[in-house]
Amino acid sequence: MKKEFQIISDLIENNTRVLDVGCGDGTLMKYLKDKKNVDTRGLEISKNNVQICISKGLTVIEGNAEKDLKQFPNSSFNYAILSQTLQAFYNPERVIDDLLNVAEKAIVTIPNFGFWKVRLDLLIKGTMPVTKNLPDEWYNTPNLHMCTLKDFFNFCSKKKIKLYRSLALHDKKISEISNFNLNLKNFSSELGIFLIEK
Amino acid sequence: MNVKENIKTIIVKKPLKLDCGETIIDYPLAYETYGKLNDKKDNAILAFHALTGDQFASDINPITKKPGWWSHTVGPSKAIDTNKFFVICANVIGGCMGSFGPGNINPKTNKEYGTDFPVITINDMVNAQYNLLEFFKIDKLYSVTGGSMGGMQVLQFVANFPDKAKTAVPIACTASHSAQNIAFNELGRQSIMADANWKNGNYSYLNSSPDKGLAVARMAAHITYLSKKGLQEKFGRKLQEKEDLNFSFDADFQIESYLRYQGSIFVDRFDANSYLYITRAMDYFDLIKQYKGNLSKAFEKTKTKFFIISFTSDWLYPTAENKEIVIALNASGAEVGFIEISSDKGHDSFLLDIPEFLKAVKNFLEANY
């Protein structure tokens, strides 16, 4: 399992209820269910991934987070997970709002557009960045709203969203992000992992 | 239809109070089973049939000599694997394959009930079939499943018996019959009743049969089970065994010939009055109204794990109506999965060999067993 999922899993308490938004093939859900006795539900847009989840015995709804999150009652989950998909929504602001309605806390991970390699692509090459975490070309990327760790940090503060934990990931190394090292982490990290609450 | 010795039947001794107010007792319920009930009795699946189905879900139907209506889905190593599961399927009350229906003899008049048969509902059908659990001494079913009207019975079953099924797979159905659904059913009923041979429902007693009316009802309904794209691809404007148009009202086009054939074979196996009663039961089905406008109340107490399946080209019971059930289940806190299967075969998809559909059913049933 990838490091990101390990970190997310560590943020989640045992025996809780979790909604994995964009759960993919259910790798994280299966892990949470088996190892942490978490009652998991998934929302996934790809029919193929939904089929894979079904074969693993996972409970997944085929749907689109921008339309279908609202069907869950308020606070029906302890955690909602959104892994590396916020940037692909038409309206990320509303999705975050919905996440924090259906769950008490949300774990949001973000590929960092402020990472130095990304900046370098644009600065030196003058082309849209293509990296390990952002593998697509500008003309076929699903990403509509790229942001940096700092952008998300500022967004939370502006929207009065509580940041419980802010973690930066680079080369499988995790570190805490704080107000003091924000600029540095925004430069040196590929991925941000945030545990938030309304 | 008179070769009924191959039909297994229980006589239900327990009185059943119908939604219309009448009570029925000592009535026949015909059923068939596939696979073996295990010692723990935890592998039983109750499959509910649709409007024109019957208890012969798999193998060769001993009455029609054709494969059972769900033979793509039910059988050894199939999606509902009868090497693992014990599948029970009953003919609904109101039906014409051995269960209590309008073709039965009314002891008060010594002739067929016809339209003296009480109007039955999906709720009545489900309550009647519940007696099979007692008959087989099954405390809890592993699953309840069915498509179309069968799916409606699944929803009603879980609402009525929230702790009697571990899982539920309603397919291509709705929680509330729409105006369009009712309209199509009314078209079929009017077609039957407009046939002079229907004779106010007393056709059996008077040795006649409203075959033309029933065939037209079937033809109209059949169109609703297919999609425009599916029809176009299969038939287009192809002509039936001729080079050019005939400038007549013969079946020039293949689609006409196909529908006529579907109508003609249907009357051999189905009873016109049963068609009236069962379509009425579907029209009356409104689980939302039963729970005073809040569908999630229907599933409030259930621990049943749901898996809802719809088809992209099904315009009779479209994905949106299936998703309403998903939303209600989520609102009630029930466990529910959902997938929309891509198929251009329309509503009929649940009866056909659609690999993605069969895979989803198989994987769900086996991963949760």
Q: What is the pLDDT of residues B27-48, one digit of tens each?
A: 999 999 999 999 999 999 999 9
Residue A160 touches partner B, C-beta closer than 8 Å: no
Are A71 and B330 a contacting pair at CB < 8 A?
A: yes
User: For residue B339, which residues of chain A lie inside 8 Å, CB to CB?
Assistant: 47, 50-51, 54, 62
Substitution target from A20, A34, A40, A59 for chain B, most B beta carbons within 10 A: A59
Per-residue pLDDT tens digits for B171-219: 999 999 999 999 999 999 999 999 999 999 999 999 999 999 999 999 9
- Give the separation between CA B264 and CA B218, rounded to whole angstroms: 9
Minimal CA–CA distance to B224: which of B267, B262, B274, B270?
Answer: B262
**What digits encode the pLDDT tens for the residues B284-306?**
999 999 999 999 999 998 999 99
Contact B266, B52 (CB under 8 A): yes
Q: Which of B327, B333, B342 sits opposite A71 (nearest CB)?
A: B327
Residues of B in contact with A62 (CB under 8 A): 338-340
Computed on alpha carbons and rounded to an integer, the radius of gyration of chain B in Å comes to: 20
Which fold would CATH assign to domain B182-278?
Rna Polymerase Sigma Factor; Chain: A (1.10.1740)
pTM confidence score: 0.95
**In-domain check, residue A11:** yes
In a domain, A34, yes or no: yes
Q: Across the interface, do A61 and B337 touch by the CB < 8 Å criterion?
A: yes
3-state secondary structure of A197: strand
**Ramachandran category for residue A179: left, alpha or beta (phi over 0 → left; psi -120 to 50 → alpha):** alpha
CB pairs under 8 A between A and B: 53
B6: pLDDT strictly greater than 90:
no
pLDDT of res. B206: 94
Q: Dihedral (C-alpha) B337, B341, B345, B351: value to the nearest 10 degrees? A: -40
Calculate Rg over the CA atoms of chain A.
Answer: 16
Per-residue pLDDT of chain A (198 residues; tens, 9 = 90+): 899 999 999 999 999 999 999 999 999 999 999 999 999 999 999 999 999 999 999 999 999 999 999 989 999 999 999 999 999 999 999 999 999 999 999 999 999 999 999 999 999 999 999 988 889 999 999 999 999 999 999 999 999 999 999 999 998 899 999 999 999 999 999 999 999 999
pLDDT for B3 equals: 53
For the residues B324-344, what does the mean pLDDT come to? 96
Contacts of A60 in chain B (CB under 8 A): 337-338
- Nearest Cα to A3, choosing from A194, A191, A177? A191
**Chain B residues bordering chain A (beta-carbon distance below 8 Å):** 305, 307, 326-327, 330-331, 333, 335-342, 356, 359-360, 363-364, 367-368
Q: Is A169 domain-assigned?
A: yes
User: What's the number of domains chain A is made of?
Assistant: 1
Answer whether residue B2 shows pLDDT above 50.
no
CA distances, B352 to each of B73, B337, B362 (Å): 8, 22, 15
Q: What is the CATH number of the domain that holds A155?
A: 3.40.50.150
Q: Distance from first CA to last CA of chain A, Å, rounded?
A: 29
B338 contacts A71? CB cut-off 8 A: no
Mean confidence (pLDDT) of chain B? 96
Mean pLDDT calculated for residue range B276-281: 98
Q: Is residue A137 part of a domain?
A: no
The verdict on a CB contact (< 8 Å) between A47 and B333 is: no
> What are the start and end residues of each CATH 3.40.50.1820 domain in chain B?
8-177+286-367
SS3 of B318, please?
coil
CB contact A17 to B (< 8 Å): no
Kindly determine whether residue A71 and residue B356, on different chains, have CB atoms separated by under 8 Å.
no
Residue B1: per-residue pLDDT: 42
Q: With an 8 Å Cβ cutoff, is A57 touching chain B?
A: yes
Write out chain B residues lying below 8 Å of A47, CB-based: 339-342, 356
Asked if residue A189 belongs to a domain, the reply is yes
d(CA A173, CA A178): 16
**pLDDT at residue A52 in the model:** 98
Contact yes or no for A72 and B330 at CB 8 A: yes
List the CATH code of the domain at B8-177+286-367.
3.40.50.1820
Question: B308, B339, B342, B359: which to substitute to probe chain A, counting the most A Cβ within 10 Å?
Answer: B339
**Chain B contact set for A73 (CB, 8 A):** 330-331, 333
By the CB < 8 Å criterion, does A55 face chain B?
A: yes
DSSP letter, residue A159 = T
Q: Do A50 and B339 touch (CB under 8 A)?
A: yes
Residue B4's pLDDT is 65
Residues 6+ away with beta carbon under 8 Å from A41: A17, A18, A19, A20, A59, A60, A61, A77, B335
Compare CB distances from A56 to B335, B340, B367 and report the shortest one's residue: B367
Reference A107, options A12, A15, A39; nearest CA is: A12
Whether A105 is covered by a domain: the verdict is yes
* CATH 1.10.1740.110 residue spans of chain B: 182-278
Q: Which amino acid is at B85?
A: F
Which pLDDT score is estimated for A1? 82
Contact state of A59 with B337 under an 8 Å Cβ cutoff: yes
Supply A55's token pair.
């074969």
The chain-wide mean pLDDT, for chain A, equals 96
User: Taking a C-beta distance cutoff of 8 angstroms, is the pair A2, A171 a contact?
Assistant: no
Domain coverage including residue A38:
3-112+144-197
Query: Which of the residues of B are catalytic?
Result: 148, 314, 347
Residues in contact with B358: Cβ distance below 8 Å, sequence separation at least 6, in sequence order: B72, B73, B78, B79
Residues with Cβ within 8 Å of B178's Cβ and at least 6 positions away in sequence, in order, are B321
Please tell me the distance in Å from A54's CA to the nearest CA on chain B. 6
Q: Which residue of B has its CA nearest to A51?
A: B360
What is the pLDDT, as a whole number, of residue A159? 96
The answer as to whether A41 is a domain residue is yes
Cβ separation B364–A54 shorter than 8 A: yes
Q: What is the ipTM of this complex?
A: 0.93
Do the bridges between strand B305-311 and strand B335-341 make them parallel or antiparallel, or are there none, so unpaired?
parallel
